[in-house]
Amino acid sequence: MRIQVEGARCQAYGLCVEHAPAAFQLDDWGYATAADDGLVTAPDVPGVEKAIAECPAQAIRRIDSD
Ligand code: SF4
C-alpha cells in the first residue's frame, strides 16, 4: 500500500500520527508527510486506513493498494 499526504489540505491535526506513527512524519509546525516515500508496511495498514478515514482534512490518499 502506498499513500500520499496532500500538503495543501493538511491542517496539522496530527491524528494520522496517532493512528500510524511509523507511516507519517510531522514537521516542526505539525504538518504531515508520508514516511518512507509513502510505502506502508503490512502492520501499519490498519492504522493508516483509520487515518485516511478520520483525517479531518481528508488530506491522505491511497495511491495504490499493493
Ligand atoms: S490527520 Fe490529516 S490533517 Fe492531520 S496532520 Fe494528518 S494528514 Fe494532516
| Residue 32 CB–ligand 1 contact under 6 Å | yes
CA of 12 to the centre of ligand 1 (A): 5
| Residue 14 CB–ligand 1 contact under 6 Å | yes
2-64 under CATH 3.30.70.20, yes or no: yes
The DSSP secondary-structure symbol of 39 reads: B
Whether the model clears a pTM of 0.95, i.e. scores above it, the answer is no
Give yes or no for residue 64 having a pLDDT over 90: no
CA of 66 to the centre of ligand 1 (A): 22
Closest CA to 60 of 42, 41, 29, 31: 31
Measured between alpha carbons, how far is 14 from 31 in angstroms, rounded to an integer? 7
pLDDT tens figures, 16-43: 999 999 999 999 999 999 999 999 999 9
Do residues 52 and 6 lie in contact, with contact meaning Cβ atoms separated by under 8 Å? no
Minimum-distance ligand 1 atom for the alpha carbon of 57: 3
- Domain spans, the chain: 2-64
Q: Give the three-class secondary structure for 52.
A: helix
Measured between alpha carbons, how far is 53 from 10 in angstroms, rounded to an integer? 14
